[in-house]
A and B are shown apart, each in its own frame.
Chain A
Amino acid sequence: MARTVIDPVTRIEGHMRVEVEVKDNEVVDAWVSGTLYRGMETVLLDRSPEDAFYVSQRICGVCPISHSHASAQATESALGITIPEGGRLVRNILECAQYLHSHILWFYNLTGLDYVSPVNALKANIADTYALADAAGTRQADFGAIAKRLTAFAENGQLSILSGHYWDHPGYALPPELDLIATSHYLEALEMQAVANEVVAIVAGKFSHPMTSVPGGTAFVPTVDKLDDILFRLVRVKEFIDTALIPDTLAIAPFILDAATYGGGTGNFLSWGVFEKSDLVPENRYLPRGFAQGLKLDAGVSPDDVTEYTAHSWYESPTGLNPAQGETKANFTEYNTDEKYSYGKAARCKDKSSEVGPLARMVVAYLAEKGGMDVAGGADVRTPAKLIDGTLKALGLEGKPEVLVSLLGRVAARNLEAAYIADIALVFVNELIAALKGGEAKFWQAAETDKGAGVGAWEAPRGSVAHWIGVNGGKIDHYQIVAPTTWLIAPRDDNGVRGPMEEGFVGVPVADTEKPLELLRVAHSFDP
C-alpha cells in the first residue's frame, strides 16, 4: 500500500518524520520517527550535578526550564536537599512564565497555521471583522492596517515563511474575517510570548537556557527592583490569554468540531505533576501527579513505573529497562518501519503506551478535582474542572468529558491550561511578596552529601519530563532522561504496540494524501 510521508514535520522542536498508511481516505497505520541523536546522557557522565543542571536543559531550547528543574530535583533527591520556600516560589514563577510563553507560541505561531490562513485573511471585510471580534469577545486591533500590510506582503510575491504551503486546502475553512483576527493575534502573540519570556530573563538571566534554578533552590534573589517587573509582565500576559487565546479558541472550535471525533490516541494519560505547593508533595502539586486510563485515575504512579523499549529504536542498549538502570548506546542500522526506525526509545508507563502533555495534565487534574482534591490549594482561581466544564458547556457538550480525548480536546486543553497557569502565576507572586514581607525568605540550601541516586519527575509545557541521576564523590555516574518527546513520538514497543502519536494518527481522515493537513494538525496537537 502506498504510504504518505511527512519529513520534515515543521513547526515543532527538533526533527521528526511521520509515515502513514491511508486507506479510503483514512489512516490505518502510522510510524513516527525521531531522526536526531546527540548523546546528552553520555556527555553528562563524570561531571558535577550542577553541570547536569546547565547542560541537560540544552536537550530542548523550547522547554529548557522544565528540564533544568527536573535535573535540579533529581540532584536534590539524590543528595537529600529540601529546597527552601523562597526557592520553591521563584521556581514556580519561572516555570509559569515558560508555560505561558510556550502555550501562546504554540497556539498562534506553530499550530495556528494549520487552521488559520493569512492568505485567506486578505479577503476579509474590515467592518465585518470588527463586528465578529466584538461578537466573539476577542481582542481588537487595527484590522485595516494589518490587512493593508498583508496585502503589501502578498503583492511582493515572496511569501517568506508562508511560501510553498497548500493554502488552497479545503481544511482552511474559517471565514476570512476570523482569519484576519487570528492573523493579527499571530503577530501580537509574537510580542506576548516575548513578554512572558522577559519574566524568564528577569528571574533566570535569559531565554532560552535559564541560569538560576540551581540544585538547592535558586540563585535569583527577588529584590525590590525586580518584583514589579515580574508582576507587571505576568498581568499583561494574563490579559492577552483572557482576551485573545481563550475567546479565539472558542471562536475557531465550531469550524473544526469534527476534530472532536478523531485523533484521541491511546487514552492513557500520565502527568508527573508540576507547580509545587509548600509541602513539596508531587501528588499535591497545582497540576497533580497521576495516571489515568479510560478517564479513571489509577491509585498512584511513580517513576519506577517507567520502562523503555528499544526493539524498534536505533540503539544497541538492552530493552525493557527502567531508566534508573537504563543505557544509551546509539547504533544506526537503516530506516525500516518493520525493524528499527527511530532514535526515540519507546517509553511506557505501567507498560502502557501513554500520552503526556497538557491534555494528560488537565485530565488528571480534572479527575482529581472531581474526586474531591483541592488542586489550587484554596486559591480563588479558575481551576481545571471549572475551565473544562465551562468550555464543554459553551460548546454544547455539557457532561461529555470524553470528547476531551480527541484532537480538539488536546488543542483546547492546552489553552485552558494556559488560563489556569496565568491565574496561579499571580498567586505565586503574591505568596512571594508575603514571604518577603515576613522577612527571612530563604532561597538556597547547600547539599550535605556528595553521594546518592535520585529522580526528578516534573512537567514541561509539552509533557512529562524525568531525569534520573546517580552521584558518587560529587560526580555523575549515571544519567538518563525521559523527555516529553520520548513519550509522545515513541515508536512501537517490543510487543508491537504503537506509540501515543502513532495511535493518534489512526482513524484520522485525510482528504488529500499529497496535502496531508489533517496529519499536521494531529502531529502539532501533541507539540512533540
Chain B
Amino acid sequence: MAQEAHGAIYDLLAVRGVSRRDFLKYCSYIAATLGLSEAAAPQIAAALEKGAKLKPALWLNGGSCTGCTESMAQVDTPDVATIVLELLSFNYFETIMAAAGKQAEDNIAETIKEGNFILVYEGSVMTGQDGNTLIVGNKEDGSPKKGTEILAEAATAAQAVISVGACAVDGGWVAAYPNPAGAMGVQAFLDKEGIATPVVNIPCCPMNPEWVVAMVVQWLLVADDDPAVFLEKTALLTKTYKDGITGADVTLNYPEYVVGSTIHDNCPRRGHFENGEFVSEFGSAEEAMGYCLYKVGCKGPQTFTQCPVTRWNRSVSWCVNSGAPCIGCGGLNWVDNNAPFFKRLSSMQMGGSLGNVQPGSVAAVVGGVAAAALVAHGLGMKAAGRIGDGPPMETAKKYDRKRMAKGGDK
C-alpha cells in the first residue's frame, strides 16, 4: 500500500484534480527556478509529504492598495500552487480571512505568542502624522493602534519577513516625491527600530505571485524552517539605497533569480530593438508586429526583474507583450526614477518653481546658451579687431611688470 504511505498530500492533490505526475512536474519547476538540479525534485516531494502541520503565517497590510493580495490570487496553476500555499496557515490575512475586528486581532496576538511564523507584509510602512497615517484596531486602553506598532511587534516575533511589492520594499509610489504620508519600506523601518529579523524583498507593483511561492517553498523545504539556513542556502542579491526619511543606507535582500537580469536582456522584443524596429505610436501597425517599445519610454533596460520570463497572470502575458512600455515598477523609488513614463529619461526634481525638468531640456538650454555665447563673443572679437592676425601681444606678463615696477625681487 505504497500509496497510503505517501500521506495526506496526495489526497489533497487528488481532490484538487492534480495527479502525482503533475505534482512532480511542479516540483521540478520549483527546483529549476531555485537553481537546483532535476534530481532534487523527488526530495522536495518527500519534504512536502512530511509537512503534515501547516506553517503559521501572518499577512499584514500596511499602506497598501491590496493589489499584491489580488496578485497573489492570480498565482499560476492554482490547483498545485494554492496547495503549496495552503501549507501555510494564514492566521491573519485581512482581505480574505473570515474573522474581523477583535477576533481578527486576537489571531495576530495568538500567533505572535506562539512564535515560529513567517510574516508577509504588503504596502508601505506609514510613519507620517506621527505614525497615524495608518491606524488599525485598538490598544488595550481602547485607543487606535498605529500600523507601525503592529508591524514592529509582529516582525520582532517572526522568523522572517517577506516584504511583497514595491511599497513594502522601499515605500513604492507612496514614498514618491514629496512623500506626503511619510512612507518607507519594511527593511528601512526595521533598521530604524533595530529589529534584526531577516527580510527578503519581492519587487514590482504588484509583486509577481510566482516569486513569493518560490520563496515560501525555499523556506519550507530547502531552508528547513530555519532563518540562518535560509540566508545561507538562498541565492540573494543585495541592493543599497538611501532612505528619504531616516537618511540611512538601507541594504535590501532580493532573490537573485528575480532581480539578476534586466527586462531588456530577456525581452521577447529584444530582436526588434537590435534591428532598430520601434513602435513610435501606440496602437499602431508597428505594435501589431510586436516591435520594440524603447522609443515610447520603455524602462526595460534599467529594470531588474524576471517579468519577461515568469510573465503575469498565470503566464498569459506581461506589460510589454500587451503593448505597454515597462514603467520600471520593479526598481527602487520607481516613480521618481522612471517618470515621465513615456520619456526615455526620468525627470529631475529641481525644486522650487522649476519642478520636474527633463535632462534633455537642461541640455538644450546649456547647448543653446553656449552656442549663443560663442556667436556673441565672435562678434565681439571682430569688433575688437582681433580677427586675422590676433591682438597685439604683451611683451611681459602683467604680474612681472608690476613686480618690476615695485623694484623687482628683493
Residues of A within 8 A of B (CB): 5-15, 17, 35-39, 42-43, 46-48, 50-51, 54-55, 58-62, 64, 84, 86-87, 105, 109-110, 113, 142, 145-146, 148-149, 152, 156, 158-167, 190-191, 193-194, 197-198, 200-209, 211-212, 214, 216-221, 223, 229, 314, 330-332, 335, 343, 442-444, 446, 475, 516, 520
A218-B288 in contact (CB<8A): no
How many residues of B sit at the interface, in one of the four size bands?
35 or more
Q: Can you name 20 A-B pairs with beta carbons within 8 Å?
A: A6-B100, A7-B144, A10-B100, A36-B133, A37-B133, A38-B174, A39-B180, A46-B355, A48-B339, A48-B341, A50-B341, A58-B173, A84-B283, A160-B86, A160-B91, A202-B322, A205-B312, A217-B283, A330-B129, A443-B283
- In the assembled complex, the CB of A310 is this many whole angstroms from the nearest CB of chain B, namely 15
Question: Which of B70-78, B194-202, B247-255, B373-381 faces chain A?
Answer: B70-78
A335-B143 in contact (CB<8A): yes
B96-A109 in contact (CB<8A): yes
B66-A62 in contact (CB<8A): yes
B52 neighbours in A (Cβ, 8 Å): 156
CA distance A60 to B123 in the complex (A): 12
A446 neighbours in B (Cβ, 8 Å): 281
A51-B101 in contact (CB<8A): no
A54-B327 in contact (CB<8A): yes
> A8-B101, A208-B67, A218-B282 are known contacts. Are A197 and B133 too (CB-CB below 8 A)?
no
A211-B319 in contact (CB<8A): yes
16 A-B pairs besides A161-B93, A164-B97, A201-B313 with CB distance below 8 A are A8-B104, A11-B97, A13-B95, A38-B133, A50-B340, A59-B65, A60-B65, A60-B66, A110-B95, A193-B73, A202-B322, A205-B318, A205-B324, A217-B282, A218-B323, A221-B323
B56, B63, B284, B316: the one within 8 Å of A38 (CB): B63
Question: Which of B6-14, B225-233, B268-276 faces chain A?
Answer: B6-14
A59, A193, A444: the one within 8 Å of B284 (CB): A444
- In the assembled complex, the CB of A163 is this many whole angstroms from the nearest CB of chain B, namely 6
B135-A46 in contact (CB<8A): no
- Residue from A10, A62, A84 having most chain B Cβ neighbours under 10 A: A10
A38, A105, A142: the one within 8 Å of B73 (CB): A105
CA distance A76 to B100 in the complex (A): 41
A204 neighbours in B (Cβ, 8 Å): 322, 324
A64-B90 in contact (CB<8A): no
B205 CB–A CB distance under 8 Å: yes
CA distance A216 to B317 in the complex (A): 23
B99 CB–A CB distance under 8 Å: yes
B53 CB–A CB distance under 8 Å: yes
- In the assembled complex, the CB of B144 is this many whole angstroms from the nearest CB of chain A, namely 5
B244 CB–A CB distance under 8 Å: no
B287 CB–A CB distance under 8 Å: yes
B178 CB–A CB distance under 8 Å: yes
B136-A161 in contact (CB<8A): no
B158 neighbours in A (Cβ, 8 Å): none
A149 neighbours in B (Cβ, 8 Å): 11-12, 15-16
- In the assembled complex, the CB of B143 is this many whole angstroms from the nearest CB of chain A, namely 7
B104-A198 in contact (CB<8A): no
A86 neighbours in B (Cβ, 8 Å): 283
B341 neighbours in A (Cβ, 8 Å): 48, 50-51, 54
CA distance A13 to B339 in the complex (A): 27
CA distance A520 to B101 in the complex (A): 10
